[in-house]
A = this chain, B = another copy of it.
Amino acid sequence: IPFKQVENLSHESLIRRAASLVTDSSSTFLSQTTLALIDAITEYSKAVHTLIALQRRYLQSLGNLSPAEEDAIWQVIIGQRSEVSDRQDECKRFELTWVSAFKLCETAAEAAYTSGAEHASITVSTNMQVAESQVAEARKLSVDTDKKLAESKVMEVERVTQDVSSLHNNNDEEEVPEAYLRED
C-alpha cells in the first residue's frame, strides 16, 4: 500500500490528473459556449422572422390605417430592428467565445496527450467533433437568417421609394426614414 501511494503521487500521475481536469473543464467550457451560440442564433432567427412579419403587416396596412396607427406599427418595427441588431451582436460575441473555446480544447487535447493522458485527450477531441457539428448546423440557420434580413432591407427600401411622396406632406414622420435607414 505505501508503494501504491507513492505511485499515485508521482509527478507523472499528478500531471496526468491535472491534464484530465483541464480537458474536463475545457469540454464544459466548450459545451456552454456551444449552447450559448446555438441559442443566440435561434433568437436572432426568431427576431428576424418577427421583423419580417411586422414589415409585411405594415406594407399591407399602408393607406388603410390612420397616421397614428401607422406610426404605432412603425415604432414597433424600429424596436424590432434594434432587437435584431442586438441579437446579431450577441451571435458575433458568442461566435468569438466559441472559437476561443474550441482552440482551447485543441490545446488542452495536445497538452493531455503530451502528459500521457491519452484517454482525456481522446475524450475532449470527441466532444470537439460533437460541438463542431452542432455549430455547423446552427450556422446554416444563421446564414439563412442573414439572407432573410437582407431581403427585408430590400423590402424596406422599396417601401421608402414608393412612399416617399406621402411622407413629404407629414412633418411628424419626416425623420423616420432617416432613423430607419441609419442601420443599413
Interface size class of A (residues with CB under 8 A): 20 to 34
Interface presence of A115 (CB below 8 A): yes
Complex Cα spacing A24 to B21, Å: 9
Interface presence of A32 (CB below 8 A): yes
Interface presence of A135 (CB below 8 A): no
Chain A, 99-129, contact with B by CB distance < 8 Å: what is the 0/1 string? Answer: 0110110011011001100000000000000
Interface presence of A28 (CB below 8 A): yes
Contact among B11, B39, B107 for A104, CB-based, below 8 A: B107
Distance of A112 from chain B, by nearest CB (Å):
9
Complex Cα spacing A33 to B15, Å: 6
Complex Cα spacing A19 to B98, Å: 11
Chain A, 1-30, contact with B by CB distance < 8 Å: what is the 0/1 string? Answer: 000000000011011001101101110110
List, in ascending order, chain B residues with CB within 8 A of A138's CB: none
Chain A, 75-119, contact with B by CB distance < 8 Å: what is the 0/1 string? Answer: 000000000000000000010110011011001101100110000
Interface presence of A36 (CB below 8 A): yes
Number of chain copies forming the complex: 2
Query: In the complex the two chains form, is B29's CB within 8 Å of A11's CB?
Result: no
Query: In the complex the two chains form, is B25's CB within 8 Å of A22's CB?
Result: yes
Interface presence of A54 (CB below 8 A): no
Query: In the complex the two chains form, is A11's CB within 8 Å of B26's CB?
Result: no
List, in ascending order, chain B residues with CB within 8 A of A24's CB: 25
Interface presence of A176 (CB below 8 A): no
Interface presence of A35 (CB below 8 A): yes
> CB within 8 Å of B: which residues of A?
11-12, 14-15, 18-19, 21-22, 24-26, 28-29, 32-33, 35-36, 39-40, 94, 96-97, 100-101, 103-104, 107-108, 110-111, 114-115
Show 8 A/B contacts (Cβ-Cβ < 8 Å), sorted by A.
A11-B39, A15-B33, A22-B26, A22-B29, A22-B108, A101-B111, A104-B107, A107-B107
